[in-house]
Structure 1
Amino acid sequence: MTGNEQTLPPAAGNAFYRICTMTMCALVIGLSVSLAAIAFVEVVAWMNNALLISPRMRVQFDGSPWLITAATILVPAAGGLFVGVLLTKLSPEKRPLGPVDVLRGVQLAMPLPSARAGLLSTMAAVTSLGFGASVGQYGPLVYLGAMMGSALDRLNLRIPNFAAIAMSCGVAAAISTAFNAPIAGMVFAHEVVLRHYSIQAFAPTTVAAATGYVVANVVFERDALFLVQFAGVQHGYEFVLFGLLGLLAAGVAIGFMRLTLRCADIAVRSSISPVLRPACAGLAVAITALWLPDVMGVGQEALRFATIEGAFQTWELALLVIAKIGLTALCIGFGFAGGVFSPALLIGILFGALCW
């Protein structure tokens, strides 16, 4: 017998035991992560409404322009200051956590940062999004799902690769819940987190993703992120235009990534205290939002309107693309907690609408 076989109890070598245990764990992870993800999104939405960040509430208070102006200027900067204190003074990691930490944990078989660091990072992400920072919510949700999945590793079930599979289940459930897309959650967990397709992990991640979808779409009947009405391709030459648009969008994405790294480098080299860096980025968001309020927050309303022909003027689309790229890079580089997927999705849709 090998050393590994000697450390496992007799039941752990039984395939039926492993399948049943992993399935039950996947159900628990899928249910708990889905509820946590829904709570995350709802708290952010509530904060956006309470702090007059959301377009719907800004329209309701249209008769009080001074109140809208004050909220636009003060809220993002105050949120940045709170995030700076939260991460710099209280978090053991001194930075926001995200998908990179999940990849490191899975690929290098390393434990995730402490639960305290994870919870503080999640609180910082909720604050960043709730106070209108130009960041995304899916990066923090991915980490939250992985953190909750990894918590089951403390059960010491003696199943090979349990920690990696549990984290991938949490990620799959988070993506499935956020997008109402169980297949996307499962594929993301395999392609991005595990970096391979595993028979051992396929069933658990599928169960977790399906559970997240059922909770979000069936139990809570949550709306899809956005709906695209596609009338079909009318002419063959449009495929050539699609290809050209893809090349142009790739160039925009590369520029976006490089600018984000550049902003992070500028922040490190600057004399600005780490506590104040997010507040500086929040102030930049606030000043821009006085003229382009759609740059604040995730931008789901702008994302939905961009799919409607004629909702934005050409110059508005161009300004929004430029502002969203610059402000997202600034917010991420200067220490706000959040992801880049939601802003990248919005930038891509706005850029596509601009070109088309």
Structure 2
Amino acid sequence: MPKETKNANHYSRLHLGLGVVIYSALLGVVVALIADCYEIGFKYLAIFWHEENNLLHYVPTWLLYGAGPFIAGPILYFIISRIPEKRAHNPADLITGIHIDNGRINALAALLTAMASAISIAFGFSVGYYAPTVQLGAGMGAIFHRLKWIRPAHAYISVGAGAAAAIAAIFHSPIGAVVFVHEVLFRFFSVRAFAPVTIAAVTAYVVSSELFDKVMFLEVAAHYRPDSPTYLVAALAGVLAAFVGMMMLRTILRLQQFNHQRQHSMSMQFFIASAVTALLIVAVPQVAGSSLQAMQGVLSGTQFSILMLLVIFVAKFLATSTAFGFGIPGGIFGPTLFIGATLGGVVADCMVLIAPSMASAHQIIIITTMAAMISAVLGSPIAMILIIVELTGDFHIISVVMLAVVMANVTAYRFMGTSSFFDIQLKSRGFDFDAGRDQLYAEHHGITDLISDSYVAIDENMTLAEVEHALIEAGKTAAYVVDEDGNMGGRVSLVDVEMAHKKGGEQQTLQAVIETDPPVLYRNTSLWQAIQLMSHSNNRCLAVIDGESNPKLLGVVYTQPLMTRYFAQLRSLRAEENVS
């Protein structure tokens, strides 16, 4: 290669690399500013609504709490109705967009969901703002991608970088954000995406730290080095948290099934959720919204008695299950974190009652139970470990947190077959990631563009000699019986025709060799289904008909282009995981 060409290629790569760095940093800055303003906005609204202020001082506190969800309901209905699916989006939608639609997501739906979630939190629904933050960042990343600084085929990188930037800005967890994007959204480690995602996350973290007065998300009194008894209690707390998490997920699923069976409208679902939530937060105000202030009280270990912790735990469990069971937009991270905190508070108080010498481990047991609870519900154990450690700022607790998280994950997977709320949502929509990315992609892409019209169509009244001649002349090994309306009546192979012709001569009829029920594909057959059927049929091609109730012959699909498409898809998926 000439020296000038090498220099040009080197300059092109350098220019592209610098462009990606600038693009990622700029995305991080923009997302950080928007995400922090988003957080300030709904926190201010929540404070204005729930705390004493000059405008609402004459309204009884219980009435403010009780009226909040009913006021939010119509607003949520108005916003969610603008989303095509008539439901709030969540990380499961981002995952399917990344894996099925080449990284393309509905940015407007993501931003509307983030807006609706802010209303939900501010007016008292028991939802969190982690998932809405991911939606907000991903939506901004999708919009930013239109600048075309990153190749169109790499849209997933912009979505992931935006999500990581938003998490890092609001939760001050850049490491956890990068791992979360790869572990939950991408479901694979992408060398190509790692640099942009990391740069966006770190930039957002720095901008948020410098421009906004941030405090540690979870304030820990002092560093503590866990001892052997602490590890034992943490492991038991992890198992307990897993069972509580499974119970909550099953409760949510049952409520969703109840809505489906009763065919409740969106407005009816919001009304029921508002009524239940209003009753719960009037009785136990600590369960309203994201419960951040109450969580600090639980972490202190002195604000609530063990009986009060149990009451808050039950109320938050019911409020959260109701919100998600009836379709209220918001994230499940925050409520799960708080439920884990109250459960950990109960475990820690019992521990101190049994072994007073372990009083110094009180706070760490609460934190490890929180981490275990989140991991049991959301999965992604590595990301959850890092996020909890970054939220507390105490890396001394990482080993005990790891143990609790692993125990929770193993338990949840053993008894539910999954340890992720997102995976449950995905499976309910027909996306099973346990099968692998290649099968998932093939299951959700069709064969329509592989249908060929290069086949032999015959009439059932033709003689064996005529069919044999037609097949040999066309160079085909099979023909398809088609009536005057274009409907397929069966398949005839050249081998069968030749054998029948030699055996019976002109007296043998075509009907004797017609395979009336051959394996066929349909217009909506997936690439994966076609491969599976082709492998079992031992045929070079399969006929494609319009549908089970409509046997109109559309054409045939041959093995070679089918497998060529599949292997091209595999190469594309592998390319996402490597730099090219």
TM-score, normalising length from structure 2?
A: 0.55
The C-alpha deviation readout for 1:101-129, integer Å capped at 9, x for no partner, is 11111122345454443332222112111
Matched, 1:44 2:36: no
Matched, 1:337 2:329: yes
Matched, 1:202 2:180: no
AA at the equivalent of 1:189? V
Task: Single out whichever of 103-112 and 308-317 deviates more from structure 2.
Answer: 103-112
* Moved >6 Å (runs of 4+): 10-13
Q: Equivalent residue for 1:314?
A: 306
For 1:65 and 1:331, how far apart are their aligned partners in 2?
29
For 2:324 and 2:241, how far apart are their aligned partners in 1?
21
Matches within 5 A, 1:25-40: 25-40=23-38
For 2:16 and 2:298, how far apart are their aligned partners in 1?
47
**Does the 8 A contact of 1:12 with 1:159 survive in 2?**
no
Q: Equivalent residue for 1:155?
A: 147
**Does the 8 A contact of 1:81 with 1:276 survive in 2?**
no
The C-alpha deviation readout for 1:197-234, integer Å capped at 9, x for no partner, is 22211111111111111111122131121112345356
AA at the equivalent of 2:233? L
Q: Equivalent residue for 2:72?
A: 79
Q: CA deviation at 1:71?
A: 0.9
AA at the equivalent of 1:29? L
User: Secondary structure in 1 aligned to 2:127?
Assistant: coil
- The verdict on how the C-alpha distance between 1:64 and 1:221 changes in structure 2, with shifts beyond 3 A counting, is closer
**Does the 8 A contact of 1:171 with 1:189 survive in 2?**
yes
For 1:314 and 1:342, how far apart are their aligned partners in 2?
21
Q: Equivalent residue for 1:5?
A: none
**Does the 8 A contact of 2:126 with 2:323 survive in 1?**
yes
Q: CA deviation at 1:86?
A: 2.5
Larger radius of gyration: 2
**Does the 8 A contact of 1:80 with 1:276 survive in 2?**
no
Q: Equivalent residue for 2:287?
A: 295
Q: 1:16 aligns with which of 14, 17, 36?
A: 14
For 2:11 and 2:80, how far apart are their aligned partners in 1?
43
- The verdict on how the C-alpha distance between 1:232 and 1:95 changes in structure 2, with shifts beyond 3 A counting, is same
Q: Equivalent residue for 1:125?
A: 117
AA at the equivalent of 1:333? G
Q: Equivalent residue for 2:254?
A: 262
The C-alpha deviation readout for 1:59-115, integer Å capped at 9, x for no partner, is x79x96852122111111221232123313x32220001211111111223454544
Q: Equivalent residue for 1:6?
A: none
Percent identical among aligned pairs is 29
Q: CA deviation at 1:23?
A: 1.1
Q: 2:94 aligns with which of 81, 97, 102?
A: 102
For 1:246 and 1:267, how far apart are their aligned partners in 2?
32
For 1:335 and 1:267, how far apart are their aligned partners in 2?
10
User: Secondary structure in 2 aligned to 1:42?
Assistant: helix
- The verdict on how the C-alpha distance between 1:234 and 1:189 changes in structure 2, with shifts beyond 3 A counting, is closer
**Does the 8 A contact of 2:299 with 2:345 survive in 1?**
yes
Q: Equivalent residue for 1:249?
A: 241
For 2:172 and 2:336, how far apart are their aligned partners in 1?
19
AA at the equivalent of 2:327? G
Q: Can you give the 5+ residue segments of structure 2 that lack an aligned partner in the other structure?
A: 1-7, 349-580
- The verdict on how the C-alpha distance between 1:40 and 1:17 changes in structure 2, with shifts beyond 3 A counting, is same
- The verdict on how the C-alpha distance between 1:157 and 1:323 changes in structure 2, with shifts beyond 3 A counting, is same
AA at the equivalent of 1:249? A
**Does the 8 A contact of 1:77 with 1:280 survive in 2?**
no
- The verdict on how the C-alpha distance between 1:196 and 1:50 changes in structure 2, with shifts beyond 3 A counting, is same
For 2:227 and 2:18, how far apart are their aligned partners in 1?
52
The structure with more strand, counted as a fraction of residues: 2
User: Secondary structure in 2 aligned to 1:275?
Assistant: helix
**Does the 8 A contact of 2:102 with 2:153 survive in 1?**
no
For 1:13 and 1:94, how far apart are their aligned partners in 2?
48
Q: CA deviation at 1:166?
A: 0.8
**Does the 8 A contact of 1:84 with 1:279 survive in 2?**
no
Bigger relative contact order, structure 1 or 2, given CA contacts below 8 A and separation 6+?
A: 1
- The verdict on how the C-alpha distance between 1:106 and 1:116 changes in structure 2, with shifts beyond 3 A counting, is closer
Q: Equivalent residue for 1:176?
A: 168
AA at the equivalent of 1:252? V
**Does the 8 A contact of 2:107 with 2:142 survive in 1?**
no
User: Secondary structure in 1 aligned to 2:62?
Assistant: helix
AA at the equivalent of 1:248? L
**Does the 8 A contact of 1:307 with 1:353 survive in 2?**
yes
For 1:302 and 1:124, how far apart are their aligned partners in 2?
23
Matched, 1:68 2:61: yes
Q: Equivalent residue for 1:135?
A: 127
For 2:108 and 2:174, how far apart are their aligned partners in 1?
29
AA at the equivalent of 1:82? I
The C-alpha deviation readout for 1:25-77, integer Å capped at 9, x for no partner, is 1112111111111111111111112222xxxx25x79x968521221111112
The C-alpha deviation readout for 1:268-314, integer Å capped at 9, x for no partner, is 22354312312321221111112200111001001111110221111
User: Secondary structure in 2 aligned to 1:43?
Assistant: helix
Task: Single out whichever of 138-147 and 279-288 deviates more from structure 2.
Answer: 279-288
For 1:219 and 1:85, how far apart are their aligned partners in 2?
34
Q: CA deviation at 1:267?
A: 2.1
- The verdict on how the C-alpha distance between 1:233 and 1:207 changes in structure 2, with shifts beyond 3 A counting, is closer
TM-score, normalising length from structure 1?
A: 0.89
Q: 2:267 aligns with which of 275, 290, 305?
A: 275
- The verdict on how the C-alpha distance between 1:17 and 1:49 changes in structure 2, with shifts beyond 3 A counting, is same
For 1:161 and 1:126, how far apart are their aligned partners in 2?
32
